[in-house]
Amino acid sequence: MAEREAALVAWRHLLHAVRRRERLAEQKTGLTGAQLFALRQLVTYPGVTIGELGRLTSTDASSISVVVSRLLDKGVAQRVRDPLDQRRWRLHATEAGVARLERAPDSADLLLADAIATLPAKSRSTLARQLEALAEAVEGTGQPVNEEQRKATRD
């Protein structure tokens, strides 16, 4: 019944809420949700590459590549060739970028993080486990579902 689908509905509510919040933040900051989130990773992990950033944000490298190019255009990020590997760019937030983030306290990713942080520790870890289990289930089927945990290659 409705009971059985409540979590699925709630999942969509959260998705919708996040997307709308991202639009609001965009109007206020001029940076989209994806841009804000990527930029925040750059502040936290200075010098990451495109590929690493993709793994950090759980998006395809080709997707994050486009997002980064916009960050560069807007002057909130910089890139430098990795001297040890000329294929890679090392990415950094600029001063302007950091300032821009500080003026975006109600971006979707932060509100979500804050909301999660206010959960009791136990609920929080349960939630994390459940979401990972769901991701695993959605990911796994269709392709060989190995009991043995896939090579994790953690981020």
Query: Coil, helix or strand for 47?
Result: coil
Q: Which of residues 1-20 bind a second copy (CB under 8 A)?
A: 3-18, 20
Measured between alpha carbons, how far is 118 from 133 in angstroms, rounded to an integer?
22
Measured between alpha carbons, how far is 61 from 58 in angstroms, rounded to an integer?
9
Measured between alpha carbons, how far is 155 from 144 in angstroms, rounded to an integer?
23
Choose the contact partner of 120 out of DNA, a second copy, none; CB within 5 to 8 A by kind.
none
- Would you count residue 155 as binding DNA (CB under 7 A)? no
What six digits make up the tokens of 92?
Answer: 């950094």
The interface mask with a second copy, positions 130-149, x = CB under 8 A, is: xxxxxxxxxx-xxx------
Considering the complex, state which of residue 5 and residue 82 has its C-beta at the smaller distance from DNA. 82
- Would you count residue 29 as binding DNA (CB under 7 A)? no
Measured between alpha carbons, how far is 66 from 22 in angstroms, rounded to an integer?
18
Residues binding a second copy (CB under 8 A): 3-18, 20-21, 24, 57-59, 105-106, 108-109, 111-119, 123-139, 141-143, 155
